[in-house]
Every structure is written in structure tokens, then in C-alpha cells.
A = this chain, B = another copy of it.
Amino acid sequence: MSAPTVRAATSPSAHVSRRDVHARLHREIEARFAERRPVVERYGPDFAHLWQLTAEHARGGKLVRPLLLVEAHAAMSEATGRSWASEDQVLEIASAVELLHFAFLLHDDVIDGDLHRRGELNLVGALAAEHETGRSPHDARTTPSPEGLHWGQSGAILAGNLLFSQVHLVLARAHVPHEVRARLLDLLDHAITETVAGEHADIALSDRVARPDLETILATALRKTATYSFALPLRLAAVLADAPEAWVERLDTAARHLGLAFQLQDDYLSTFGDAARHGKDPHSDLREGKETAIIAFARLTSAWPRVRACFGDRALLQESAARAVEALRGCGADRFVLGLVAEHREALGTLLADDDAPHALPPRVRTLLGALDAQLVGRES
């Protein structure tokens, strides 16, 4: 650091509730969209509408990633007694992390040909529906015309690009010392490269370019999800709280365990969970032929022929799907994936319990990561 003028930590103290932080983050993300509105409106109503609709679809997330950044920063700067950023600046950077998440989702939905997310029309689907009807309400289950789909997917690519640009600009314009900003940009650079690599590997799996072995599937999940969802917020927070390098290594390890446990738990719930509770299309992973750890395990067993018959069958009937799930249970794929989840949760627990080490994470950070594990991985829907 060229200047040792470390500001006093003005991070949210323990008495600020998670609900308060969530509300402030929500307002901060709204502000990111609102501040661009006058610029966007210069280019006419269609473009302004695209931005408006993007803002609406970006709403309603759990804000897991920006919450993690804000809370980890508060916990770490309390421990270091230092922060390079004011509370408002931390919120602004956290909002950029949520925009990055949403930009990735938008391009993902285009690549996967998805029209829905969380049971409702996503941005692609909403734009496609508007194209058919001229912006009136529309039956969410109607298949759009090729022109409507083109309008929706093109809009989502462009909206994603605008958000992607904003994420970089928020970090590049952050009012922190130059060397700190350089480190934030390096973290963004790394997270984007790794996430794009993970997406590419995921597409290679679904387009049958890559071999769907367990190693490839787990490496893909790590890159596509864990890096930007857990490692990026934690490492940005660490830089802003001037945390020692020993913490950063532990945060990276924790992010890997959290990311894998979260993804594997998600795979488990999608296949074996109660569809009514988790709100997803039941058996959609089977129908789409999604290469998961469950499928990779089943391929190694005598149950595979019965699963393969259903795997990737878009017209799969409920009854056949239920039989395939039974075959997966029969070969132990459910216990296998739950075993992997438990292993990663245990490794995380061991890391978080290690309070004797000279560079152990501060207690509040360990509490935070433990709570996140319980919230994300310990869930049943």
C-alpha cells in the first residue's frame, strides 16, 4: 500500500440485524438500476423498457452473495480494526456482486434456452411473451414464436452486457486507495475467468463434448458456482477489511466446501426432494439430461440402463420418471451424494472449529460461515 491511511472501520456492528442489511442492499441494488435510468431513457421507450424489466427481474433474490460480502467485511474489519471502505462503499461493491450474479443468470438462461426461473417467466420469457402480445399479460406456459424467442434472447444478452459492464465500472470507480482498487479488480478478473470457464465446461457436458465423469462434474460446479458466489464476496471483503493472507487461504477453502456442498445438496433436492416444497419442476434435471454427480455415480452401476432410458427425454412421463428415481435410489446414488455433502460440511466444520491456529479466522467470521452452511446446505427445500 502506498498510503497507510487506513480508515476507521465503520462497518455494520453486531446490533445491525441481517434484515436491516438485506433491506439496505435491496435499496442499493435498486439505486444501481435507478442511476442508469435517465441515461437509458435517452434511447427511446423500447430500450428504457428493457432496462426496467431487467430491474424487475433482478429483484426478489435472497441476496446471498452481497449479504455474505457485507457481513464478512463487518466481521473481519471488527477483528482487524481497519477498513479501506466506508459502509456505503461496501454496500455499493456488494451490489455489484449481485449484478454480476444476475448478468451470469441472464446469459445462462439464453444458453440453456430457459424461459422460466423460480417458476415464473424469466427476462427471456417475459420479453418473448410481450413480443407476442404487445406487452399485455400472457400465459406463461405458451411456447413463444421463433421471433419472440429471438427478441427475448437478444434482449437478455444485451441486458447482461450492460450489467456486466456496470460491475466492472463500480469496482473501477470505487473510492478506495489505488492499490486496494487494483486488488479488487484482480479478484473480479479471476472470478469472471473462472466462472466463464465453468460455464464453458458445463456446456461441454450438456453438448456431449466433455466426458461426464465425477471429477469433471465436481470441477465444473466449483468453477461455475463456488468461485463467484462464495470466494469472490469473501475475498473482496477480506481486501476491504485489510485481512491477513492466512485468513484469505482459509476463506478460499471454506468457499470451496460451501460451494460444493451447496451444489450437491441442490442436485440431491432436485432429484430426490419434495418438488412441492422446493418449488422446482420435478424431474427437470432428468428431462434435460443434466450431468450431475448423481448421474455420474449411477453410470458406474447396474442401475444405469434403467436411468439412461429416461435421461434427456424431454417428453418424459411422470410415471417413468418416478421409476428412474427409484432406480437411482436403488443403486445408492442418493446416499452417495449425501455422503459427499456431509464430507464437505464436515471439512468446513473442522476448518471453522480450528480456533487454536495462530491465524484462525475471527470467531464472528466462523459463526457467519457456519450459519451460511446451515442456511444453504442444511435446508430441505
Q: Measuring CB to CB, which residues of chain A are less than 8 angstroms from any residue of chain B?
A: 36, 39-40, 43-44, 46-47, 50, 107, 110-111, 131, 147, 150-151, 153-155, 157-158, 161-162, 164-165, 168-169, 171-173, 178, 181-182, 185, 188-189, 192-194, 196-197, 199-201, 203-204, 207-210, 223
Contact = CB atoms under 8 A, between A and B. Distances in A.
A81 to B, nearest CB: 27
A109 to B, nearest CB: 11
A172 B189 CA distance: 11
Contacts of A181: 172
A111 B204 contact: no
A14 B147 CA distance: 52
Contacts of A154: 111, 200, 203, 207
B185 A169 contact: yes
30 contacts: A43-B194, A43-B201, A43-B223, A44-B197, A46-B200, A46-B201, A46-B210, A47-B197, A47-B201, A50-B200, A107-B158, A107-B161, A110-B157, A111-B154, A150-B207, A151-B207, A154-B200, A154-B207, A155-B200, A158-B200, A161-B164, A161-B192, A162-B192, A162-B193, A164-B164, A168-B172, A169-B185, A169-B188, A172-B181, A173-B185
Copies of this subunit:
2
5 smallest beta-carbon distances between A and B, as pairs? A168-B168, A172-B172, A43-B197, A154-B203, A151-B207
A189 B165 contact: yes
A92 to B, nearest CB: 15
Given A47-B201, A147-B208, A196 B39 contact: no
Contacts of A196: 158, 161-162
A171 B192 CA distance: 17
A40 B197 contact: yes
A181 B161 CA distance: 21
Nearest to A134: B209
Contacts of A197: 40, 43-44, 47
A161 B157 CA distance: 10
B161 A203 contact: no
Given A147-B208, A150-B207, A165-B189, 16 more contacts: A40-B193, A43-B200, A46-B204, A46-B210, A47-B200, A107-B157, A150-B203, A154-B203, A155-B203, A158-B199, A161-B164, A161-B196, A162-B192, A165-B168, A165-B188, A169-B185
A223 B158 CA distance: 14
Nearest to A216: B44
Contacts of A200: 43, 46-47, 50, 154-155, 158
Contacts of A207: 131, 147, 150-151, 154
Given A39-B193, A40-B193, A150-B207, A157 B111 contact: yes
